[in-house]
A and B are shown apart, each in its own frame.
Chain A
Amino acid sequence: MTEQASPQNTGRRRALKVLGATLGATAFAAAMEPLKAWTADLTLDQFLQRHYRELTKDQLEAVLRRVESDTKAKYGKDVHCEDVRPMEGVEFGYALNLSVCIGCRKCAEACHHENNHDRRTNNSYIRVIEMEQGSLDLEKGNTTYDHAVPAPGKYYMPVQCQQCDNAPCVKVCPVQATWKESDGIVVVDYDWCIGCRYCEAACPYHARRFNWEAPEIAAEDINPEQSYLSNRIRPQGVVEKCTFCLHRTRKGKLPACLEACPTGARVFGNLLDPDSEIRWVLENKRVFVLKEELGTKPRFFYFFDN
């Protein structure tokens, strides 16, 4: 042990240790250097920002203005970001007519533009599956087809967030960064999500996307009409998802994917309104939901015409 070592030896040892510790600390600082640029973007206000549902009116107002100024600084575009709340007496439902969908992916493209998705990855909340005629087996489906549509012997099934009433993604989130709003839409607080991606693992419909890096989008391509819980440009490292275009639908407009559909396959509306088209479809068509056996209770329905 050191007690027996000569004083000279101990002194040398101590000097070596001090040298080692200094070297180690310097090396550690150098190793962590890349974090500097990253923390420069992160203000204390942002770091301490509370959950969306805990923000006071004034705090929320400040956050919205910050989103706007950040977008201006990073993307060079003047945008308008607001907080659009659910309407009283409205619960949204969506239905899709598989008999008329031709698989053109116009819906996915409209989503891409409406929701300010990353341009490099061509991201969208909608995936269109080319299905084998006579089978509901996803195993036989194909999402990467690149031929003229509709192809013979095939039908097409677009899949996006099913806004489940019993949503597995909401259950698993450890920090309540995602929840179901009173109009049935499942939302994410992008400023609260810690990026653990447990929700991505839990979702049976591949409805969630992760921002593996900060989205890239040219100023002229940015949709300036934005909302906090939906289509504002998402930060790096958080999860996002389809919100039924709540910044549009909560103001009485239709989702972008529906407006883009050339065949009228999509039906959207208020489930609580007995005269709505969506109610008529649910009452008169042979409707089914995806993976019903999982008990997720989707608000997204599929049907065939005849």
Chain B
Amino acid sequence: MSNESHVVSYPRFLLRVLRMSLDGGWRFYVWMTALTAIALVGANAWAHQVANGMTVTGMTDQVSWGLYIANFTFGVGLAAGAVMMVIPAYLYDDHDMHDVVLVGELLAIAAITVCLLFITVDLGRPDRFWHIIPGLGRFNWPISMLTWDVIVLNGYLLLNLHVAGYMIYTRYLGKKPSPRWYVPFVFLSIFWAISIHSVTAFLYSGLGGRPFWNSALLAPRFIASAFITGPAFVILLLQLMQRFSSFRKAEGPVRTLSGVMRITVILNLFMLGSEVFTEFYTGGHHAVAAQYLFFGLHGHAALVPWIWTAVVLNVASALLLHIPAFKGARWALNAACVAAFGGVWIEKGMGLIIPGFVPSTLHEIVEYVPTLTEWKITAGIWAFGFMLLTVAVKVALPVLSGELRHSPRDLDESELEAEPTAAE
């Protein structure tokens, strides 16, 4: 191997990777241009929101969080769910999974970035972001759950950046990654993934004044639904990669992940059922928000179509995954993934956040409907997330398959022969 120092080769690696990420076929350019356009529309809507105040949103003093926090919550689940690639690979030594762990990590990086952006656009004073930086501002740790969330989310982002970056870089250099530089971090990331979604659940479940959220089941429900959306997204992503790139290892991981989903969709429905039972059988004040969510309250029913769509999608995904006639049918699996993704997006998004505020703590009923500005910003952030993910996957693939290397002349023949993709 060349003796070039990392100080020289790492920036060069980043530069090459960056240059490469901008190359592609017409499909790639169309895709990226469309995403850029959506992201710019979102950026413009946000600039207006900052300048004119959050009055441009549909939020009020009664419903003080809306679409942004709903998407934030869902995004955290997506990021945490990505660890479902890591668990089979490292805890159960599933070799097929080793190849796609990196995909999960890249998904986690994109999803966490999306989450951080949703928090940023929800701030009334984004110019004061530095007040929440430990050491610079006044960090209300350990009392405020939001400070825990700042730590675990950024920590998870760094962990995944490190592991994914290290893997790709060593492969680029044509070296075998050294286990001590990534295995401890991989195991840490498993616990960390659980923590990001638990802490996010505690953000809500710790509020005594909001009976709809004040449930010990919230964190387990978050985890179960995270382990639906993560695998669902990766199943679809792997198939797309197989179609549009030289990647050929989707089969095994798709099988494993659909096995995971088969369990988690049922678990999620079971926990939803437990909550619905407890709310409605007990009745009284505790059930008022659930009443509003599922059936409407005193003629106010803005969320009813949302939540029933979610229920239908979630039940449909469970059926598609379990009916024997559909076993092995790729369309059924893909439909189940899309349905589950959409179902959880509603259930863990609008279906979770808004009923926490309706009725208000003084039992006023003020409904919330997102404005166009909120939809623009939301679409913009997701578009940006997809751009990040596209570029990341696009860069990672040729490095892993050996198409892009530090310096092809230096390649050690023996290392080339020794299973180029199984080194993770």
Contacts and interface: CB of A to CB of B under 8 A. Distances in A.
Interface of A: 1-2, 13, 17, 20, 24, 27-28, 30-35, 37-39, 42, 47, 51, 127, 129, 138-139, 141, 143-144, 159, 168, 171-177, 192-198, 200-206, 208-214, 235-239, 291, 294-296
Contacts of B138: 51, 175-177, 192
B363 A213 contact: no
B244 interface: no
Contact of A294 (B122, B203, B209): B209
A216 B269 CA distance: 48
B210 A201 contact: yes
A61 to B, nearest CB: 21
Contacts of B2: none
Interface string B41-66: 10110011011111101011110110
A208 B61 CA distance: 8
B252 interface: no
Which of the listed residues B62, B207, B356 has the most CB atoms from chain A within 10 Å of its own CB?
Answer: B207
Interface residues of B, number: 62
A176 B138 CA distance: 6
Question: Which 5 pairs from chain A and chain B are nearest by CB?
Answer: A195-B124, A204-B209, A237-B124, A213-B53, A31-B44
Interface of B: 22-23, 33, 36, 40-41, 43-44, 47-48, 50-55, 57, 59-62, 64-65, 119, 122-129, 131-132, 137-140, 143-147, 150, 203, 206-210, 285, 288, 356-357, 359-364, 398, 403
A201 B53 contact: no
9 contacts: A31-B40, A139-B359, A200-B64, A201-B210, A206-B360, A212-B57, A212-B60, A238-B124, A294-B209
Given A2-B23, A159-B362, A201-B64, A171 B144 contact: yes
A201 B285 contact: no
Given A138-B363, A295-B208, A42 B127 contact: yes
Contacts of A214: 53
B146 A212 contact: no
B362 A143 contact: yes
A195 to B, nearest CB: 2
B90 to A, nearest CB: 32
A177 B362 contact: no
A39 to B, nearest CB: 8
A138 B125 contact: no
B124 A34 contact: no
Contact of B146 (A2, A198, A208, A236): A198
Contacts of B203: 198
B53 A177 contact: no
B129 A34 contact: no
Nearest to B380: A31
A211 B125 CA distance: 11
A56 to B, nearest CB: 16
A34 B50 contact: yes
A174 B134 CA distance: 10
B4 to A, nearest CB: 21
Contact of A194 (B36, B51, B128): B128
A31 B43 CA distance: 6
A197 B124 contact: yes
B47 A210 contact: no
Contacts of A177: 131, 138
Given A205-B361, A205-B362, A1 B55 contact: no
A195 B64 CA distance: 11
A13 B25 CA distance: 11
B62 A206 contact: yes
A237 B127 CA distance: 10
Given A31-B47, A32-B44, A210 B22 contact: no
Given A194-B132, A206-B362, A176 B47 contact: no
Contacts of B131: 51, 175, 177, 192, 194
A174 B105 CA distance: 28
B217 to A, nearest CB: 19
Contacts of A141: 362-363
